[in-house]
């Protein structure tokens, strides 16, 4: 089972947090640390993850790419922004390899309906990091977001331009609830599925609730059938945030997360 570092508890040393994950039954983690920053991780910051991971027995499954604010994205109109985005993505690929993961998540264009030139910039940016990714054996897994037109245009174009060894798919059902794009994604992206960001919401905001939340609207039976029938062959992974008012603190939260994950595995094995 894998969980995002967005579930780390504040005020606890990192190794203690990771031990809590491991003791609760989680073996892997999705690393999003500094994903909204415009500078790469330092050598010391990487060491500050390597040592607690080794001590706790947790492993990195995959890593989130950088989408800083102010925005610097592969699809940005400004060349300086695109060059920064390329540098950050190449760096995240290298960090993923060093920490033992196999994929980097990268959002499709997110802020407006992408014009043809933005998609062209996006594809060209991916080409700029292709050699590094292939050399290190890292897949760039494109994540669906809030604008259905961007999902379809960016994913279809990238899947046509690159093979599955380099370009995969990250499925975020919470984003799909907001975009209304779930059915299209489930029909078209299974062969490229490489990363899971399993979470739920009520369709009104990116809440990062646990799957199967009583107020959530994701179609979990359909989602688990999709995963079971897809190319995905890694541990199931949740990208959830701590909501003490919903799930309690520490042990209660992690016990609920484990129980939820076990239920999802059961749904996938017995559709």
Residue-wise pLDDT tens digits, 242-269: 888 999 888 899 999 999 999 999 999 8
What's the pLDDT tens digit per position in 170-215?
A: 999 999 999 999 999 999 999 999 999 999 999 999 999 999 999 9
What pLDDT score does 70 carry? 86
Q: Is the pTM of this model over 0.95?
A: yes
Is the pLDDT at 131 greater than 70? The verdict is: yes
Question: Per-residue b/e over 232-258, b at no fewer than 16 CB within 10 Å?
Answer: beebbbbbbebeeeebeeeeebbebbb
Helix 43-56 to helix 79-99 angle (10° resolution) is 30
Other CB atoms within a 10 A radius of the CB of residue 170 amount to 30
CA dihedral over 69, 73, 77, 80, signed as positive or negative: positive
What pLDDT score does 138 carry? 98
What pLDDT score does 56 carry? 97
Helices (H) and strands (E) in the chain, counts: 10, 8
What number is the average pLDDT over the span 101-129? 96
Average pLDDT, the chain: 96
169's tokens: 């798919």
Q: Which CATH number fits domain 2-269: 1.10.357.10, 3.30.1360.230, 3.20.20.150, 3.30.230.10?
A: 3.20.20.150
What number is the average pLDDT over the span 132-154? 98
Asked whether the beta carbons of 31 and 195 are under 8 A apart, the reply is no
CA-wise closest residue to 35 among 106, 101, 99, 103: 106
Domain ranges of the chain: 2-269
Is the pLDDT at 12 greater than 80? The verdict is: yes
Other CB atoms within a 10 A radius of the CB of residue 84 amount to 19
d(CA 194, CA 176): 17
What pLDDT score does 132 carry? 98
Is the pLDDT at 271 greater than 70? The verdict is: no
pLDDT exceeding 90 applies to what percent of the chain? 93
What number is the average pLDDT over the span 153-181? 98
d(CA 45, CA 207): 28
Give the containing element (helix H, strand E) for 168: strand 167-171
CA-wise closest residue to 243 among 214, 209, 211, 212: 209
1's tokens: 């089972």
Peptide linkage before 70 cis (omega within 30 of 0) = yes
Is the pLDDT at 270 greater than 90? The verdict is: no
What number is the average pLDDT over the span 99-117? 95
For residue 115, give the DSSP letter: P
Distances (CA, A) of 127 to 99, 163, 183: 23, 12, 29
Give the containing element (helix H, strand E) for 185: helix 182-188
d(CA 65, CA 111): 16
Other CB atoms within a 10 A radius of the CB of residue 54 amount to 12
Residue with tokens 């947090």: 17
What pLDDT score does 135 carry? 98
């Amino acid at each position: 089972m894998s969980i995002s570092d967005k579930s780390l508890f504040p005020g606890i040393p990192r190794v203690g947090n990771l031990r809590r994950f491991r003791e609760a039954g989680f073996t892997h983690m999705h690393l999003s640390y500094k994903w909204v920053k415009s500078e790469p991780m330092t050598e010391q910051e990487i060491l500050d993850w390597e040592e607690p991971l080794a001590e706790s027995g947790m492993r990195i499954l995959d890593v989130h790419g950088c989408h800083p604010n102010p925005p610097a994205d592969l699809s940005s109109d400004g060349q300086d922004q695109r060059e920064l985005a390329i540098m950050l993505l190449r760096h995240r690929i290298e960090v993923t390899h060093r920490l033992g993961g196999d994929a980097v998540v990268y959002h499709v264009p997110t802020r407006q309906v992408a014009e043809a030139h933005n998609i062209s910039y996006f594809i060209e940016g991916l080409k700029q990091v292709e050699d590094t990714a292939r050399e290190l054996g890292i897949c760039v897994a494109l994540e669906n977001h809030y604008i259905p037109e961007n999902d379809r245009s960016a994913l279809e174009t990238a899947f046509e331009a690159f093979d599955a060894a380099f370009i995969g798919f990250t499925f975020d059902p919470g984003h799909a609830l907001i975009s209304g794009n779930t059915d299209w994604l489930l029909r078209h992206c299974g062969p490229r599925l490489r990363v899971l960001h399993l979470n739920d919401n009520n369709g009104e905001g990116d809440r990062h609730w646990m799957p199967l939340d009583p107020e959530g609207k994701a179609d979990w039976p359909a989602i688990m059938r999709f995963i079971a029938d897809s190319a995905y062959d890694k541990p199931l992974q949740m990208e959830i945030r701590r909501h003490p008012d919903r799930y309690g603190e520490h042990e209660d939260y992690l016990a609920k997360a484990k129980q939820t994950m076990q239920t999802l595995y059961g749904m996938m094995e017995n559709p």
